[in-house]
Structure 1
Amino acid sequence: MLEPAEASPGTQAEQASFQGIRRICGFIAENFREDIDCVDIAVSADIHPKYAMSVFKRSTGMSLGEYVSLMRVSYAQALLMRDDASILQVAMDSGFGSVSAFNKCFRKKAGMTPSEFKREHRAAPPPLHA
């Protein structure tokens, strides 16, 4: 195994890309519920927005926007499993600007509407004690 001082320039570039992706993912994980874009994300990793988009797509196979949407839908799915969750409140709490944007993105990522998901995945009632 190469020590950092012995690493080749290609390896150093890969390490820098990996660190950038870690910072990008961390920023998205902490801020996906806010109105963020690729510039906000790139600034958080201290890299140029075009480079951030390129290195992220090359490393993950998805765009920054797709990843943010995936995080939002995953969070929304968890919220929808609660009995008291309204579709409007889940949409807003998950970072979507409107219910229509939420419905469109949710259907694309989950293959069903939020209402269908809620019906299918509603938490089971607690068992009755004899």
Structure 2
Amino acid sequence: MPENRTVMALLGEKWRQNYGRDIDYLHFHNYLEIGYCHEGKGAMVIGDDEYYFEGEGELTVIPSNYLHTTNSDPGNISYWEYLFVDVEQMLNKMVPGSPRYVEQMLHQVNQRAIFTNRGKAPELTESIENIIEIMRRGEPFYQEEAEGEMLAFLSKIARENGNIQGGGSVNMREKAKISNLVSRSLDYISDHYREQIKVGDIAKRLHLSETHFRRVFTQYMGVSPLEYINIVRIRSACEYLIKTDDSIAAIAEKCGYYTSSTFNRNFHKTVGMTPEEWRKKPENFERKLLEFNVHSEEGW
């Protein structure tokens, strides 16, 4: 996300393509993703659910850290454009001094992923069409205009999700609570993985016992907190290995490992080769990391 921005647009012909070709895994982002389909046919996989999209006016709203992917039909070219939103930063910027309001709205925006279209949700679709055009034109003060429109859009999403939560089951509300806790822990790990993170410290920040936090995190993500921290660190190390000439020891320290033996052991366990070997042959890195059984929501 560009500095001091809360909305980033991925627009244009680059996003007219055959989605999903040679890719058989889900992914997630650090920010809320909004997708708008201009043309094409295929399947949108969101968590454990699959939706078929066909032509203009299909809309997706996918919370941060939520697994998903887009697959065009074989031989079909699809055209999607995307908006990524730093929801928390936007709310803090536009409604300063209201932490309780920000927390409640952030929680309700992230309740669930949404797949809809112009026929089912004309107001939501029109809002996103307007924001995309604002970003595309890039006229003076366009970012401020887009943020105002986006706040109105997110307010509608939060209100709709709040209504669903109010009439939903206790189980749904509990899942939303757990999702929020894990999301906060992922953010913390992303910000502090270069430091000596202790799982107990993360649990304390969430006001949970370490045992309870480990259980909740592992059930939700499919890997333990420590395993996830190692994945983040090793991913960062791989970027340093391919993009810099830094020594292995220097890279290890930059990524939160303070002994070479620990770094080498964890690197080999995660990637299947030593750092020196990977530096010479990085092409299997992404596929290896994606073999981890990372979380996908059930029933959302």
- TM-score bracket, normalised by the shorter chain, equals 0.7 to 0.9
Runs of at least 4 residues of structure 1 off by over 3 A? none
Give 1:116-127 correspondences, 5 Å limit. 116-121=277-282
Q: Which moved more, 1:39-48 or 1:19-28?
A: 39-48
Contact kept in structure 1, 2:165 and 2:172, CA below 8 Å: no
Contact kept in structure 1, 2:200 and 2:210, CA below 8 Å: yes
State yes or no: 1:91 paired with 2:91.
Answer: no
AA in 2 matched with 1:30: D
Q: Tell me which of 36, 57, 71 is aligned to 2:232.
A: 71
Higher strand share: 2
Q: Distance in 2 between matches of 1:82 and 1:108?
A: 22
Instruction: For residue 13 of structure 1, report the CA deviation from its aligned partner.
Output: 1.0
User: How many corresponding residue pairs?
Assistant: 122
Q: Distance in 2 between matches of 1:60 and 1:80?
A: 27
| Secondary structure in structure 2 of the residue aligned to 1:81 | helix
Task: Give the match for residue 291 of structure 2.
Answer: none
**TM-score between both structures, scaled by the size of structure 2:** 0.39
Q: Distance in 2 between matches of 1:64 and 1:70?
A: 10
| Secondary structure in structure 2 of the residue aligned to 1:36 | coil
AA in 1 matched with 2:180: Q
For residues 67-110 of structure 1, the C-alpha deviation after alignment (integer angstroms, 9 at most, x for no partner) is 00111100000000124221010000000120000000000001
Contact kept in structure 2, 1:23 and 1:44, CA below 8 Å: no
Task: Give the match for residue 11 of structure 1.
Answer: 172
Contact kept in structure 2, 1:103 and 1:114, CA below 8 Å: yes
Q: In 2 relative to 1, CA 3–119 (structure 1 residues): closer, same or farther, beyond 3 Å?
A: same
Structure 1 vs Structure 2 CA RMSD: 1.7
Task: Give the match for residue 20 of structure 1.
Answer: 181
State yes or no: 1:42 paired with 2:198.
Answer: no
| Secondary structure in structure 1 of the residue aligned to 2:281 | helix
AA in 2 matched with 1:118: R
State yes or no: 1:105 paired with 2:254.
Answer: no
Q: Distance in 2 between matches of 1:48 and 1:12?
A: 21
Q: In 2 relative to 1, CA 8–83 (structure 1 residues): closer, same or farther, beyond 3 Å?
A: closer
Contact kept in structure 2, 1:20 and 1:47, CA below 8 Å: no
**TM-score between both structures, scaled by the size of structure 1:** 0.86
Between structure 1 and structure 2, the one with the greater Rg is 2
Q: In 2 relative to 1, CA 83–75 (structure 1 residues): closer, same or farther, beyond 3 Å?
A: closer
AA in 1 matched with 2:183: R
Instruction: For residue 12 of structure 1, report the CA deviation from its aligned partner.
Output: 1.4
| Secondary structure in structure 2 of the residue aligned to 1:91 | helix
Q: Distance in 1 between matches of 2:232 and 2:253?
A: 14
For residues 31-79 of structure 1, the C-alpha deviation after alignment (integer angstroms, 9 at most, x for no partner) is 1111011111112323222111111111111100000011110000000
Q: Which residues of structure 2 form unaligned runs of 5+?
A: 1-160, 283-300
